A and B are shown apart, each in its own frame.
Chain A
Amino acid sequence: MAAYVSMGEAHRRITEYLTRFSDAVSYQDGQSLSRLLSVSSNSPALLSLADALNTYQDANRIIRQSEKYSQYTDILVPIFRALQSYRLRNLVEAYVAFEKVSNAFIQEFRNWESAWALEALYVIAYEVRILAERADIELASIGKTPEKLKGAGSFLMKVFGVLAGKGAKRVGALYVTCQLFKIYFKLGTVHLCRSVIRSIETAKFFDFEEFPDRDKVTYMYYTGRLEVYNENFPAADHKLSYALAHCNASKEANIRMILKYLIPVKLSIGILPRTTLLEKFNLTEYSDVVLALRRGDLRLLRHALQEHEDRFLRSGVYLVLEKLELQVYQRLVKKIYIIQKQKDPNKAHQIKLDVIVKALKWLEMDMDVDEVECIMAILIYKNLVKGYFAHKSKVAVLSKQDPFPKLNGKPVNS
């Protein structure tokens, strides 16, 4: 795996890295610094350094030889270890060492007055998460408890605390928040998002719009998903639509993920995606759901939910889609009403419950008149149908004005 490196060459590479590091700090060059910390990037420079470190066993002595380097011993010693371990695929060791790098880096970062090193901090936050994930895979494979990602979450909360105050560093808080979201969603501990969200959204001295686009889009995607789980559809619509409108158009995978959640939200407030959208982003699992709404086809809705049950349950939108049933009932009753109206406009607003029973039977739904009456009562209660019952004659009498109110972008009354 590791290429042969002579001792002299190894020494040269190690010194070069140390020089670059100390230069990046003294010239406050955040971009160069960030490249030196990207352990998982597999960049040629870092790979050849890792090979050098594995040849030249006493790199720490070089660090201690010069004051220029030794003042950053707490960063440099563990970053060497992290790079070496990562190269040798010892991922747990690599994570443990990198966590030390990160803690030492945060100490320095706190003391630097300007925000020049933000870019390097982003890399630290990203690497902590990625190395923790890989360490956990290694731990799980040898039968140990994967716990590093959780640890990475605690560390990033600390980083968030460093950034969240006033001042220029604040602009970095949203990037760290997004890394935290990724961790919490992966671990299934999304309730932990709450305190971070509160801190972002109640900040009086920092306008959300001042954060970088990439972080705003990511933030809105994750908080939008949370609103879907909370069944707060207007808020979910707002956040996911924001993410959609601002997402880099070349990031199709991300656009697809936004749509995966936005579509059920839009459906629940009575707005349909065009077929071209579903096809372009390969979200055709929603095609039959949409068609069921258009038609008033309860059978098709049921089949579509069954067919993609696993997928919908995994992404957590199943319950949202299941609730579309009432809108499909509304559409079916409306179709019956229009068909009657074409036959006899005077009697159209009286719908015999029997007729609905027949339509449902055709759709393979066995319901008696009482059950249909119950469904109609719900539709009226939810303001999807305007009208009343003539209970004795088993007739639903529809209002002559706007008997089927549209949702107009609002959720069904609950």
Chain B
Amino acid sequence: MATEQVKPPTEEAKIDLFEDDDEFEEFEIDQEWEAKDEGKEVTQQWEDDWDDDDVNDDFSLQLRRELESNTEKK
């Protein structure tokens, strides 16, 4: 096996042995489950209508103050 001896430094820092931090855990061989109900809770945890017109949060209020104070300076 001809492995390159010279490796970029990032690769070297990475590991002495191979690793995948996110290796999926094994399911038991005979594990079966009802997919329909379970997992549902987790699949409903998303928002796609978050991009509202509300500008009363702290960040927006500060932004407004910033924009107004600056315009006054001019």
Say if the beta carbon of A45 comes within 8 Å of chain B: no
Range, interface on chain A: 35 or more
Say if the beta carbon of A61 comes within 8 Å of chain B: no
Say if the beta carbon of A16 comes within 8 Å of chain B: no
Say if the beta carbon of A335 comes within 8 Å of chain B: yes
Given A182-B23, A273-B46, A274-B47: A119 and B29 interface contact (C-beta under 8 Å): yes
Residues of chain B with a CB closer than 8 A to A331's CB: 51
**Are A409 and B43 in contact, CB atoms less than 8 angstroms apart?**
no
**Are A273 and B45 in contact, CB atoms less than 8 angstroms apart?**
yes
Q: Identify whether the interface residues of B are mostly helix, strand, loop, or mixed.
A: loop
**Are B43 and A185 in contact, CB atoms less than 8 angstroms apart?**
no
**Are A123 and B29 in contact, CB atoms less than 8 angstroms apart?**
yes
* Residues in B1-23 with C-beta less than 8 Å from chain A: 1, 3, 16-23
Residue from the list A123, A140, A293, A409 in contact with B17, Cβ < 8 A: A140
Residue tally, chain B, CB below 8 Å to A? 45
Residues of chain B with a CB closer than 8 A to A342's CB: 55
Among residues of B, the one whose C-beta sits closest to the C-beta of A139 is: B17
Residues of chain A with a CB closer than 8 A to B19's CB: 186
Q: Could you give 14 example pairs across A and B, Cβ below 8 Å? A: A31-B30, A119-B30, A122-B29, A182-B20, A186-B18, A186-B20, A187-B18, A214-B28, A214-B31, A222-B24, A249-B38, A260-B22, A272-B46, A339-B60
Q: Which residues of A contact B (CB under 8 A)?
A: 31, 34, 119, 122-123, 126, 136-137, 140, 145-147, 149-150, 178, 182, 185-188, 212-214, 217-218, 221-222, 225, 241, 244-249, 251, 253-255, 257, 259-261, 266, 270-274, 276-277, 293-297, 314-315, 331-332, 334-336, 338-339, 342, 355, 358-359, 362, 404, 406, 408-409
